Amino acid sequence: MDNPATIRQQFIKIMTGSDLSQRKIPIVTLKSKNPGPVIWLTACAHGDEVTGIVIIQELMRYIKKNGLLKGSIYAIPIMNTIGFENVSRHVTFSNEDLNRSFPGSPAGSLAERIAFRIFDTIMDTSPDLVIDLHNDWINSIPYALVDPVEEDHEIHETIIRYAAQSGLPVVVDRDLLRSSFSHSIIRQNVPSITLELGESFVVSEANVQYGLFSVLNILSNKGMLALSGGMFKYQTSKKMEKKILHYSDKPLCSTTGIIRFKVKPSEIIRKEKVMAKVYNVFGKLQESIKAESDAFLLGYSDSSFAFPGAPIVALGNFE
pTM, rounded to two decimals? 0.95
End-to-end CA distance of the chain: 48
Q: Are 45 and 184 in contact (CB under 8 A)?
A: no
What pLDDT score does 229 carry?
76
What pLDDT score does 152 carry?
63
pLDDT digits 0-9 by tens, 45-89: 999 999 999 999 999 999 999 999 999 999 999 999 999 999 999
Cis amide bond preceding 35, omega within 30: no
pLDDT digits 0-9 by tens, 143-152: 999 999 776 6
Domains defined for the chain, CATH in brackets: 6-221 (3.40.630.10), 247-317 (2.40.50.100)
In angstroms, rounded to a whole number, what is the distance separating the alpha carbons of residues 258 and 285?
Answer: 10
What pLDDT score does 256 carry?
96
Per-position b or e across 74-85, b if 16+ CB within 10 A of its CB: bbbbbbbbbbbe
In angstroms, rounded to a whole number, what is the distance separating the alpha carbons of residues 306 and 311?
Answer: 8
What pLDDT score does 21 carry?
80
Q: Which amino acid is at 109?
A: S
Q: Are 151 and 45 in contact (CB under 8 A)?
A: no
pLDDT tens per residue across all 319 residues of the chain: 678 889 999 999 998 888 878 889 999 999 999 999 999 999 999 999 999 999 999 999 999 999 999 999 999 999 999 999 999 999 999 999 999 999 999 999 999 999 999 999 999 999 999 999 999 998 999 999 999 977 667 899 999 999 999 999 999 998 888 899 999 999 999 999 999 999 999 999 999 999 999 999 999 999 999 887 778 888 887 777 778 999 999 999 999 999 999 999 999 999 999 999 999 999 999 999 999 999 999 999 988 899 999 999 999 999 7
